[in-house]
Amino acid sequence: MGVFLSAVDYFQRGGVCMWPLLACSLVVVIIGVERYLYYRESISDTKFILAFCRLLNDSQVEEAQALAASSRGSAARIAGAMLPERKHLGGRFASVVYARVDRSIEELHRYMNFLSVVIGLSPMLGLLGTITGMMSSFNALNERVQNPIGVTAGIGEALITTVFGLCIAIVGMCIQAYLSARIKGATLDMDEMAGAMIDEAEAEKEKAGGGGHHEEKKISQP
């Protein structure tokens, strides 16, 4: 209880700018938790990507499709949905695959720009609190009767908002770095998966074309 009261007193002494700073801190935490939970469900394991690509390189399409059906994540869902359509789509297969991959990557980037804005805004709000706190200190010094309590209160307000704003920015940057690393890894994995599926579709197309041409030559022989 004493810690809570001390925190409330610390917050109140920070002045008006503590309220928008509190909102920024909540936004950073909410985005971090939401993105972490979303990535845990949406980003496929790199082991799945490696195994899936290895199966396609060995032309084991049915095994690769079964692996995609038993795995979780957006990459597995895209692979499971697109592999059976490779023959029906024909030449449009590559563009459709990359369109699905791009949409999935866009979902991974959701809220990241907003997080960057909050990270940049927090130190600026802390600086604003510093300025208002120093203004209060100067006003106390300009009074006819000196008010040392007012001077120290203004300086305390300035220091509290600065520290709080910097702490929010530091934590937000750490969260952003972690999320960006997850996005980069998922992007590389999905690009590798898309390339493997397109290569397999092209290989099947070449085999079908070569087989047909060979059969035509055999029929034309007397």
Q: Write out the two tokens for 218.
A: 């055999």
* Residue numbers of the chain with a pLDDT score lower than 50: 144, 211-222
Residue-wise pLDDT for 175-203, tens only, equals 999 999 999 999 999 999 999 999 998 88
> Quick one: pLDDT at residue 59?
86
Longest dimension (CA), the chain: 119
> Quick one: pLDDT at residue 156?
64
Task: Say how far apart CA 59 and CA 56 lie, in whole Å.
Answer: 5
> Quick one: pLDDT at residue 117?
96
Can you tell me which residue has the tokens 């022989």?
221
Q: Which residues contact 202 (CB under 8 A, 6 or more apart)?
A: none
pLDDT-above-70 percentage for the chain: 81
Contact indicator for 187, 105 with CB cutoff of 8 Å: yes
Contact indicator for 183, 108 with CB cutoff of 8 Å: yes
> Quick one: pLDDT at residue 176?
97
Nearest to 198 by CA among 92, 50, 44: 92
Domain ranges across the chain: 15-202
Can you tell me which residue has the tokens 């510093």?
130
Residue-wise pLDDT for 132-167, tens only, equals 877 777 676 666 455 566 566 666 667 888 999 999
